[in-house]
């Protein structure tokens, strides 16, 4: 995945194995140029879970469910 997405990594894509997160600070119209399967996308979200982390505009948090699993 990293080889295929190399020129986009850390510009508007994060990839880990088969988990891909595409983020933008552009308009939706410009975003559609890069995405072929729009039905798999979520737009205008302020909170998203990616690799057991919660990603917000303010920063990244560990998912509490993950911490509970570790302690139990």
Q: Give, for all 72 residues of the chain, the pLDDT tens digit.
A: 788 888 888 887 888 888 888 777 666 676 677 677 777 777 778 888 888 888 888 999 988 887 887 887
To the question of pTM greater than 0.75 for the whole model, the response is no
Predicted local confidence at residue 26, as pLDDT? 65
Q: Residues 6 or more apart from 36 whose CB is under 8 A from it?
A: none
Predicted local confidence at residue 67, as pLDDT? 80
Is the Cβ–Cβ distance between 60 and 50 less than 8 Å? no
Domain ranges for the chain, please list them.
1-41, 45-72
Distance CA 17, CA 62 (A): 19
């Amino acid at each position: 995945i990293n080889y295929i997405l190399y020129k986009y990594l850390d510009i508007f894509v994060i990839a880990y194995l088969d988990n891909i997160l595409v983020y933008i600070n552009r308009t939706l119209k410009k975003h559609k140029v890069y995405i072929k399967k729009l039905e798999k996308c979520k737009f205008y979200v302020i909170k998203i879970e990616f690799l057991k982390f919660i990603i917000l505009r303010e920063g990244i948090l560990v998912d509490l469910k993950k911490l509970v699993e570790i302690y139990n």
